[in-house]
């Protein structure tokens, strides 16, 4: 069965998905792909300049035969993530699919990355992925089903891969799979198709994997 066939069959009908970094790029593409797979999508990004494009993402999810709603939150802040989880659960139900698709860090060699850029990349990816996973895991365990997808970029990509592998081992007994998708030189829609497949029940034997999409990834 191809990825396209899995998504077309709406294997995630009625399930709630939380997608961070959903205002544009890979995050937006993942939100739309999950809506097409039947998810009620909670599209999340920061306030300010991202609010309007995030609302557009939510509207695209609705048009994609799913249900979508925009949620503004700073997922690099643990308290904000807790508030986000409460808001999403009240509006749509508890998420059992989480896509950590935060902002892209500076695409520079490590030797040219400043300390401030490094700290920003760690916050945007590793901190955010940890806070979001921590928030959704109890409901996933209760449901006996969960999918966590970390979209990894350089220079912090391998840390997200390690986080995925650690969580995969810890949560396997609860029916939760955790995988890392390393984004290379691929269109966002190509990455989103892989994410949607990994979110589906058809992927329940895949966990702790590092899946590279596109030939140009430096992660």
Task: Please report whether residue 131 resides in a domain.
Answer: yes
CA-CA distance, 219 to 15, in Å (whole number)?
Answer: 31
Task: Please report whether residue 63 resides in a domain.
Answer: yes
Asked if residues 155 and 118 have their Cβ atoms less than 8 Å apart, the reply is yes
* CA gyration radius, the chain: 16
Task: Please report whether residue 116 resides in a domain.
Answer: yes
For 100, the domain range is 3-213
Q: Return the beta strands (E) in the chain as ranges.
A: 16-20, 40-45, 67-72, 97-100, 146-152, 176-183, 210-213
Residue 67 confidence (pLDDT): 87
Q: Domain total for the chain?
A: 1
Task: Please report where in the chains the tokens 């544009």 appear, as a residue.
Answer: 24
Taking Cα atoms as reference points, which of 214, 168, 157, 188 lies closest to residue 19?
Answer: 188
CA-CA distance, 35 to 146, in Å (whole number)?
Answer: 17
Interior/surface letters 1-35, b for 16+ CB within 10 angstroms, e for the rest: eebeebbeebbbeebbbbbbbbbbbbbbbbbbbbb
Taking Cα atoms as reference points, which of 206, 192, 78, 103 lies closest to residue 156?
Answer: 103
Residue 104 confidence (pLDDT): 58
CA-CA distance, 43 to 201, in Å (whole number)?
Answer: 21
Q: What is the CATH number of the domain that holds 191?
A: 3.40.50.720
Q: Could you give phi then psi for residue 91, rounded to 5 degrees?
A: -85, -40
Strands 40-45 and 16-20: parallel
pLDDT tens digits for the chain (219 residues)?
A: 444 444 456 889 999 999 999 999 999 999 999 999 999 999 999 999 999 999 999 999 999 877 899 999 999 999 999 999 999 999 999 999 999 987 555 557 778 888 888 888 888 889 999 999 999 999 999 999 999 999 987 666 788 999 999 999 999 999 999 999 998 889 999 999 999 999 999 999 999 999 999 864 443
How many other C-beta atoms lie within 10 A of the C-beta of residue 171? 19
CA-CA distance, 122 to 156, in Å (whole number)?
Answer: 7
Residue 7 confidence (pLDDT): 46
Task: Please report whether residue 69 resides in a domain.
Answer: yes
Task: Please report whether residue 201 resides in a domain.
Answer: yes
Task: Please report whether residue 183 resides in a domain.
Answer: yes
pTM of the model: 0.91
Task: Please report whether residue 218 resides in a domain.
Answer: no
In Å, what is the CA distance from 194 to each residue of 141, 181, 199, 213? Answer: 24, 8, 9, 8
Task: Please report whether residue 219 resides in a domain.
Answer: no
């Amino acid at each position: 069965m191809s990825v396209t066939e899995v998504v077309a069959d709406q294997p995630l009908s009625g399930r709630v998905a939380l997608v961070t970094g959903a205002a544009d790029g890979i995050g937006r593409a993942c939100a739309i792909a999950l809506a097409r797979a039947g998810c009620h999508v909670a599209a999340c990004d920061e306030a300010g300049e991202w609010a309007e494009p995030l609302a557009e993402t939510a509207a695209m999810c609705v048009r994609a035969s799913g249900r979508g709603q925009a949620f503004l939150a700073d997922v690099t802040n643990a308290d904000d993530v807790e508030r986000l989880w409460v808001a999403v659960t009240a509006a749509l139900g508890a998420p059992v699919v989480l896509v950590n698709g935060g902002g892209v860090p500076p695409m520079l060699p490590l030797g040219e990355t400043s300390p401030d850029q490094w700290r920003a990349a760690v916050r945007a990816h590793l901190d955010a992925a940890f806070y979001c996973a921590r928030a959704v895991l109890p409901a996933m365990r209760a449901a006996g089903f969960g999918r966590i997808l970390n979209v990894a970029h350089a220079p912090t990509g391998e840390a997200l891969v390690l986080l995925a592998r650690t969580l995969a081992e810890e949560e396997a007994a609860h029916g939760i799979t955790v995988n890392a998708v390393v984004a290379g030189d691929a269109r966002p829609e190509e990455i989103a198709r892989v994410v949607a497949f990994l979110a589906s029940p058809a992927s329940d034997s895949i966990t702790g994997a590092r899946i590279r999409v596109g030939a140009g990834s430096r992660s």
